[in-house]
Chain A
Amino acid sequence: MPRSKTVESFAAAVADIPDGAVIAFGGFAGPGTPYNLTRALLDQGARRLTCIANTTGGAHQPRLPDVGMLVENGQVAKVICSFTAATRPTDVLPFTKYHEAGEVEAELVPQGTLAERLRAAGAGIPAFYTPTAVGTELAEGRETRVINGREYLLEYALPCDIAFIRAWRADAAGNLQFRLSQRNFCPLMGMAAKLTIVEVEEEILPAGALDPDHIHLPGIFVQRMVQVPPPPEGLWTIRRQERAR
């Protein structure tokens, strides 16, 4: 029998994360967000982290654990994301003031470029050309190339030390299924990272219980899994109307 990938607690799953780690956080507007692993990292206290996520979060109340909280907790040196500020004046990201004050570095990346840089890292591709952001401030001073008459911007792969992701179902081999829009960045980050830690919503099934034709991320990319306990012990999600209250 191979060694089990199932870890008993979120604290145990993140205990050995070192200072300076590059960590990718899955999730998009709720689904796929690793709330429980993020909370455990807040408690664990690793510092000087580089955090990769679509957004630093926190524009709405009440909040569940997000990258912005790690920033507020003094654990983050740099974030790489597609939003360092909100586009609507009424939404304020808690992270923005740390960035404006120069306390935390930020690399702002178009969302599709972020996804493709992660995909490239997981696929063994060092760099690629994309038409996105050509002619904008983001392309200033950077390498471009005209291919078949169109200008493209060179972008590099974005490998990570660790990925935190959330899945719907898993088997003991670490094979994962995501449900609906939970998938988003999660399989890309899982492939881009050396160590992928997953919080799993349903009971982790024996190997062989999931149809091999319906696996979204194979277990070879998954090293650790923790099953999310029911609330209040486990963090699940916030309904939109609860946010609005």
Chain B
Amino acid sequence: MSGEGTGQPGQAAGWDRQQMADRLAREFQDGWIVNLGVGIPTLCSNTDLGDRAVIYHAENGVIGYGPVLPPGQEDLHLVNAGGQNVSLKPGAAIVHHADSFGIIRSGRIDVTVMGAYEVSADGDFANWKVGGAKGGGIGGAMDLAACAQRVFIILEHVTRKGEPRLVRQCSLPVTARGVVTLVATNYGLFAPSGEGFAVRELAPGISLEAARAATGAPLFG
């Protein structure tokens, strides 16, 4: 798998999903214990980190899983938190759910990468309930968000209707408050700064003006 994403010259401006995941994965440091959420965050495991080794933790008690196995080679007793039939790396371990979340709550997870509907300038984020719904899907997100050392978010910069997802205040019920330190979108890499978002990097073809126009809080270049 490419560590540089799958973007081709001439395609639409900005990063594709793999490039967003790659950009966050390159922040991972050697020895980190990493929990990847379902969806785009799982693409972080495709990124080539060179000499840096990270340990992937899944909520269902799998510590040290490796790539998803091709059809016919799966072990049906082994899934990651997204239900994918993964492999185990040498040194892997299995625990039950309470111990798995003990690992999370005691701060052993160096970074969790999750998807979200919205992220606020204060580092709040919302990813468990959509507007008007009675219920939602929390899974392990609230435990991870409250207790991981770092919370990274991957999301499209705007909704399908073109509304910003990086906002002053979340309009949806939050998953945790003040925890997000880094956000990758198709527009670039941003860090919540309280007053707004600091622009750490802009994706190719994205101007600061374009990013400002698509963001619901001040951007500091």
Contacts and interface: CB of A to CB of B under 8 A. Distances in A.
Interface of A: 28-31, 54, 82-88, 96, 99-100, 106, 108-113, 115-116, 118-119, 130-138, 168, 179-188, 216, 236-237, 239-241
B79 A28 contact: yes
Interface in B59-111: 59-62, 71, 74-79, 81-85, 88, 94-98, 100-101, 104-105
Contact of B77 (A31, A87, A99): A31
9 contacts: A111-B101, A132-B143, A138-B142, A180-B94, A183-B97, A184-B61, A184-B97, A185-B97, A188-B97
B77 A179 contact: yes
Nearest to A140: B173
Contacts, number: 160
B112 interface: no
Bin the interface of chain B by size. Answer: 35 or more
Contact of B95 (A99, A131, A179, A183): A183
B142 A83 contact: no
Interface stretch (B18-26, B130-138, B161-169, B207-215): B130-138
Contacts of B158: none
Given A110-B140, A110-B141, 20 more contacts: A30-B79, A31-B79, A82-B138, A83-B139, A87-B38, A88-B38, A108-B136, A111-B59, A111-B97, A111-B138, A113-B143, A116-B98, A131-B105, A131-B146, A132-B146, A136-B177, A185-B97, A236-B76, A239-B74, A240-B74
A82 B135 contact: no
Nearest to A102: B134
B96 A188 contact: yes
B147 interface: yes
A188 B135 CA distance: 25
A116 B71 CA distance: 35
Contacts of A183: 61, 94-97
Contact of B139 (A87, A119, A240, A241): A87
Given A31-B76, A136-B174, A168-B77, A87 B135 contact: no
B97 A82 contact: no
B28 interface: no
A185 B84 CA distance: 18
B216 to A, nearest CB: 21
A120 to B, nearest CB: 9
Given A87-B128, A137-B173, A183-B61, A100 B146 contact: no
Given A133-B146, A136-B176, A85 B136 contact: yes
B134 to A, nearest CB: 5
B101 to A, nearest CB: 3
B71 to A, nearest CB: 5
B53 to A, nearest CB: 22
B75 A115 contact: no
Contact of A87 (B81, B97, B137): B137
- Nearest first, the 8 closest Cβ-Cβ pairs linking A and B are A84-B135, A112-B101, A112-B143, A29-B83, A87-B137, A115-B97, A119-B98, A110-B142
Nearest to A137: B173
Nearest to B79: A29
Contacts of B100: 112, 115
B127 interface: yes
A29 B142 CA distance: 19
B60 A240 contact: no
B84 A84 contact: no
Contacts of B101: 111-112, 115-116
B138 A109 contact: yes
